[in-house]
């Protein structure tokens, strides 16, 4: 299968297929070089979409193909990491729907670091999460463990800031393209991470903020991490989607036990009943993972 990076980037820009569907497409047409000759009816049948939609995709693809996207991305300090790249995290292949391309801003060598731990929790995190970060993050940073989170309000922001404050490295996985930063109040934090750490997304730069994309983002947070730490979460928290992904792939879930009367502890305490590992500091995580 001969695939040209420019062709993959162009098609992904127009129609960002996950890798499982991209493989189905390539199995049918053999190479991205044959996309230009693929008919709307043929593409529609392969991807199970309408012929009109397929025609629009192919028309836009031909237009985008004339643009050197690598130059465009480079000029915006965006690195495109296709599934064939050495920097593409191999654990993502275990997902049902791995990203075909990852887009990165910052230090992509962090993706090669063997030890990465996600710290996540409620967007309505209380001071309890702030306190938890003081106990959890410094020991992990001491061991050169990269802190992964999702740049959301609350626990995610606290995790990124704690990693930076204690001299560690952090990866923020976004649920949208780089032309948008959400939430807006994290723009300065995102710029700091892009300069000295790593911003990561599966979406081309123009893709805006859509609610359904954040659960998709969570599978990448889980996928690139060795384990998940949850500080606070309500029973209906999106955090629990991330832990489900992690459990499906045999990863440890560490939980900070919370006060039984607090709404933000109901999800975490539920995880403990289901077998998550209770922790009160980062040293316990290191011991459990036998990282010494």
pLDDT digits (tens, 9 = 90+) for 217-241: 999 999 999 999 999 988 777 777 7
Q: Are residues 45 and 164 in the same domain?
A: no
Q: Are residues 121 and 40 in the same domain?
A: no
Domain edge (last residue) among 52, 74, 96? 74
Q: Give the range of the structural domain holding residue 221, as residue numbers without chain letter.
A: 108-288
Structure tokens at 76: 């915006």
Question: Does residue 170 or residue 251 have the better pLDDT?
Answer: 170
Number of domains comprising the chain: 2
* Contact call for residues 268 and 230 (beta carbons, < 8 A): yes
Query: Residue 263 pLDDT more than 90?
Result: no
Q: Are residues 130 and 274 in the same domain?
A: yes
* Contact call for residues 268 and 120 (beta carbons, < 8 A): no
Q: What is the mean pLDDT of the chain?
A: 93
Q: Are residues 59 and 123 in the same domain?
A: no
Q: Are residues 265 and 166 in the same domain?
A: yes
Q: How far is the C-alpha of 278 from the C-alpha of 131, rounded, in Å? A: 16
Q: What is the pLDDT of residues 156-189, one digit of tens each?
A: 999 999 999 999 999 999 999 999 999 999 999 9
Q: Residue 1: what pLDDT?
A: 44
Query: Residue 41 pLDDT more than 90?
Result: yes
Q: Is the pTM of this model over 0.85?
A: yes
Q: Residue 291: what pLDDT?
A: 55
Q: Are residues 63 and 114 in the same domain?
A: no
Q: Are residues 194 and 124 in the same domain?
A: yes
Angle at 106 between CA 102 and CA 111, to 5 degrees: 55
Q: What is the pLDDT of residues 117-162, one digit of tens each?
A: 999 998 999 999 999 999 999 999 999 999 999 999 999 999 999 9
Report which of 152, 87, 88, 144 is spatially closest to residue 117, judged by C-alpha positions.
144
Q: Are residues 145 and 231 in the same domain?
A: yes
Q: Are residues 113 and 247 in the same domain?
A: yes
Instruction: Give the chain's end-to-end CA distance (angstroms, integer).
Output: 42
Question: Does residue 2 or residue 71 have the better pLDDT?
Answer: 71
**What secondary structure letter does DSSP report for 276?**
P
**What secondary structure letter does DSSP report for 18?**
B
CATH of the domain at 262: 3.40.50.450
> pLDDT band at 264, cuts 50/70/90?
confident
Q: Are residues 128 and 220 in the same domain?
A: yes
Sheet holding 170-173, edge to edge: 79-82, 101-106, 198-201, 170-173, 146-149, 116-120, 227-230, 252-255, 277-278
* Contact call for residues 5 and 82 (beta carbons, < 8 A): yes
Q: How far is the C-alpha of 12 from the C-alpha of 1, rounded, in Å? A: 17
Q: What is the pLDDT of residues 62-77, one digit of tens each?
A: 999 999 999 999 999 9
Q: Residue 216: what pLDDT?
A: 87
Q: Residue 249: what pLDDT?
A: 79
- Residues above pLDDT 90, as percent of the chain: 80
Query: Residue 290 pLDDT more than 90?
Result: no
Partners of 228 in the β-ladder:
118, 253
Query: Residue 292 pLDDT more than 50?
Result: no
Q: Are residues 145 and 66 in the same domain?
A: no
Q: Per the domain annotation, does 83 fall within a domain?
A: no
Query: Residue 97 pLDDT more than 80?
Result: yes
Alpha helices in 116-186 (DSSP H): 127-142, 155-165
Q: Residue 235: what pLDDT?
A: 78
Q: Residue 261: what pLDDT?
A: 82
Q: How far is the C-alpha of 122 from the C-alpha of 150, rounded, in Å? A: 11
Q: Per the domain annotation, does 88 fall within a domain?
A: no
């Amino acid at each position: 299968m001969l695939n040209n990076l420019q062709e993959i980037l162009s098609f992904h820009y127009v129609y960002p297929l996950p890798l499982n569907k991209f493989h189905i497409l390539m199995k049918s047409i053999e190479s991205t070089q044959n996309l230009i000759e693929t008919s709307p009816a043929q593409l529609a049948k392969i991807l199970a979409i309408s012929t009109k939609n397929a025609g629009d995709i192919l028309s836009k693809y031909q237009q985008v193909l004339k643009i050197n996207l690598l130059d465009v991305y480079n000029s915006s300090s965006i690195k495109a990491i296709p599934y064939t790249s050495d920097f593409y995290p191999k654990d993502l292949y275990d997902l049902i729907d791995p990203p075909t391309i990852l887009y990165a801003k910052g230090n992509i060598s962090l993706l090669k670091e063997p030890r990465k731990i996600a710290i996540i929790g409620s967007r309505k995190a209380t001071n309890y999460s702030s306190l938890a970060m003081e106990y959890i993050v410094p020991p992990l940073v001491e061991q050169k463990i990269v802190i992964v989170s999702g740049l959301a309000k609350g626990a995610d922001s606290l995790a990124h800031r704690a990693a930076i404050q204690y001299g560690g490295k952090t990866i923020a996985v976004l649920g949208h393209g780089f032309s948008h930063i959400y939430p807006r109040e994290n723009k300065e934090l995102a710029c700091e991470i892009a300069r000295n750490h790593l911003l990561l997304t599966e979406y081309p730069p123009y893709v805006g903020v859509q609610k359904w994309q954040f659960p998709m983002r969570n599978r990448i947070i889980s996928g690139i991490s060795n384990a998940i730490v949850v500080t606070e979460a309500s029973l209906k928290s999106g955090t629990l989607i991330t832990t489900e992904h992690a459990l499906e792939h045999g990863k440890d879930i560490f939980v900070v036990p919370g006060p039984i009367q607090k709404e933000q502890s109901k999800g975490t305490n539920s995880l403990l009943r289901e077998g998550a590992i209770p922790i009160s500091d980062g040293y316990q995580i290191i011991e459990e993972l036998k990282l010494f």
